[in-house]
Structure 1
Amino acid sequence: MDSRKSIDITAVGLMVGICLIWALQPIGLKSTAVFAAPVLQIGLRSGIAALCVLAIVKLKGQRMEFFGGTAGLGALAGLLFAMEFFMVGEALKHTSASHVVVFLYTAPIFAALGLHWKLPSERLAAVQWVGIAVAAAGIAFAFLAPQGGGEAAGGLGAMLWGDGLALLGGAAWGLTTVLIRTTRLSAIPATHVLFYQLATAFVILTGAAVAGGEAAFVPTRPLLLNIAFQALAVSFLSFLTWFWLLTKYRASQLGVFSFMTPVFGVVLGILLLGEPLTPEFSIGTAGVLVGIMIVSAYPWIGQRRAGRSAQAGSS
């Protein structure tokens, strides 16, 4: 029997805070890209956050495996994690932060498809396939519809390239979820999994920045504040809080609330960065969000119906 409880006011409040932090993530990277490449910033923040997570593991007296099968799976999860954020960093060069946050949060669609294939208990219902079709139609519309005056500075082709990279980032995130859910990583503490991801991302992303000639770092106040925010608020506190919520509350319900993030991202991109919002992208975004909500909310609806049926049967 699932010991996790339904969401309450505490969970809702924490989810609003987490989603705001996650929505600010690409905006902070975009606004400080002139001082350091986004990929380099993500690599540095991952290293700082990895040290913070390792400190917690040590304070708890836990033993972490650095060699062997579990560590190997952790490194693989870290590789996918690094791929996700490499795509995000590159996408921010070509498209808006609001576009990045919307396409990145297609991850649940990719995760649902992967889990459907790997786990019998995660088979998609017919309604969820409809949701995937709606989301796919939204993505296609956002890509293929004429973009009016909302083209990025580098032109429509550059913007679509950036959108595509962000979508690949969402796919990498979804694959990371599948890997964690279907291997022994699901049985170890979340802090260990997070450390593997952050440490691997630090090595790969900082190395990629150096290899790509993007190691320039101008230590301005905005950049240093953003890296501190990205490391401590995004990669450390928000991820740990999210994992804690998953141990206490039902994941399907939390997943529904997590889709405040792309909504916040679009709004904040307009308010803080002055990014344009074309009707075409708005329609496509609506399709993506509706489709993802259908896929994510269906298990919650099923649980509520089962609960009501059980109550009716006992009365």
Structure 2
Amino acid sequence: MVEKRAIDLFGATTLTGFALLLSFNQVVIKLTAAGFAPVFQAGLRSALAAVVLLIWIRARGISLQLPASAAGWALVSGLIFTFQFVALYIALDLTTVSRASVIFYSMPVWLGLAAHLWLPGERLSGARLVGMALAMAGVALAMLDRSSGQASLWGDLLALVAALGWACVALLTRVTPLTAVQPSVQLLFQAVISAPVMLVLAPFFGDLWREPQPIHLAGLLFQGVCVMGLGFVFWLHLLSIYRASSVASFSFLSPVFSVALGWLLLDEHVGPGVWGALALVAVGIVLINRMPARPAG
């Protein structure tokens, strides 16, 4: 097995770019909601991504066959993935990008807590516990801050639900037979399962169309092809080169970029509470990702 290397200049540049891509995607989701209802938009995005991922997996000669023990867990993962993005897309429709992103990108906090409870080899050290406490305080501060007229408590709660769903999906890849399945294949199955489920559910959330324009169609293509398709394929490639902990440490940049982009591109009001929440979450995630785990026992 080739030893994975520490982050170099290329890795730092591309991972920073990927964090910026994810943050800009939040803005695109918000803008595209003016043309397509949130759940309908999410379903179309998964359908587009499934096509891109299938083409890439076939081109690489990767097997799509799942071990019998993993098939049921792939379905569970796909359904949680569906629930996660239904919650996130509705959250972004209800509340601001800056608020939703600070809460949504707290996912490493909840994953770290779950790993501490259920993965004996990943108990949290004192420094990581401090990081978790800071990040959780940041999420609470973001949800309590009502200084923005665009804020929505329901939107904030749904962003938190989406973060918990994301952590559940990540945890399943660690504690179930999905560990034997290629990450790109897992993502394909999540897209294939989520697309029809969300498209079936979409009419229950109101009208599917909201005066769609060419820019909204471009937003859909960007989400499905550039982000969920090609973007995550490239991220998986980086994960195969660099240490996972180093790659994960760049996740703290996404909420930072999201708050800045929401302010710059959408003219969102970002009150002191949100800036404070952002600082707490960012510092907390850095501590959680960079400090070594305490050995079990």
Distance 1:244 1:50, change over 3 A: same
Contact 2:133 2:284 in 1 (8 A): yes
CA RMSD after TM alignment:
1.9
How far, CA to CA, are the matches of 1:68 and 1:24 in structure 2? 38
Match of 2:39 in 1: 39
Correspondences of 1:146-161 after superposition (within 5 Å): 147-148=146-147, 150-152=148-150, 159-161=152-154
TM-score (norm 2): 0.93
Aligned to 1:211: 204
Distance in 2 between the 1:30 and 1:279 partners?
Answer: 22
Moved more, 7-16 or 64-73: 64-73
Query: Does residue 93 of structure 2 align to residue 100 of structure 1?
Result: no
Q: Which residue of 1 aligns with 2:289?
A: 296
Counterpart in the other structure of 1:313: none
Count of residues paired in the alignment: 294
Amino acid corresponding to residue 129 of structure 2 in structure 1:
W
Q: Deviations over 1:11-48 (max 9, x none)?
A: 11211221111001121111121211122112111111
% identical equivalent positions: 34
Give the distance between the partners of 2:24 and 2:135, measured in 1 at CA.
23
> Are the aligned partners of 1:24 and 1:265 in contact in 2 as well (CA < 8 Å)?
yes
> Deviation per CA, 1:242-264, whole angstroms, max 9, x where unpaired?
11111111111111112111111
Distance 1:248 1:97 in 2: 31
Q: Secondary structure at the match of 1:231?
A: helix
Q: Per-residue displacement from partner, 1:283-308 (whole Å, max 9, x unpaired)?
A: 122112111211111139x9xxxxxx
Aligned match of 1:13: 13
Counterpart-to-counterpart distance in 2, 1:284 and 1:219: 34
Q: Which has the larger radius of gyration?
A: 1
Q: Secondary structure at the match of 1:299?
A: coil
| Maintained 8 Å contact 1:252/1:299 | no
Q: For 2:232 and 2:54, locate their aligned partners in 1 and report how far apart those are by CA, in whole Å.
A: 14
User: CA offsets, 1:76-103, max 9 Å, x none?
Assistant: 1111211111111111222101111111
Task: Measure the CA separation in 1 of the matches of 2:95 and 2:185.
Answer: 34
Deviates more, 1:270-279 or 1:246-255: 246-255
Instruction: Tell me how far apart the structure 2 counterparts of residues 67 and 258 of structure 1 sit (CA, whole Å).
Output: 31
Which runs of structure 2 are paired with 1:1-315 in the superposition (5 Å)? 3-65=3-65, 68-145=68-145, 147-148=146-147, 150-152=148-150, 159-216=152-209, 218-299=211-292
User: How has the CA–CA distance of structure 1 residues 296 and 2 changed in structure 2, closer, same or farther, with 3 Å as cutoff?
Assistant: farther
Whether contact under 8 Å (2:6, 2:243) holds in the other structure is yes
Secondary structure in structure 2 of the residue aligned to 1:124: coil
Structure 1, gaps ≥5 residues long: 303-315
Cα distance in 2 for partners of 1:137, 1:213 equals 35
Distance 1:204 1:108 in 2: 27
> What amino acid is aligned across from residue 119 of structure 1 in structure 2?
L
Distance in 1 between residues matched to 2:88 and 2:124, nearest whole Å:
28
Q: Normalising to structure 1: TM-score of the pair?
A: 0.88
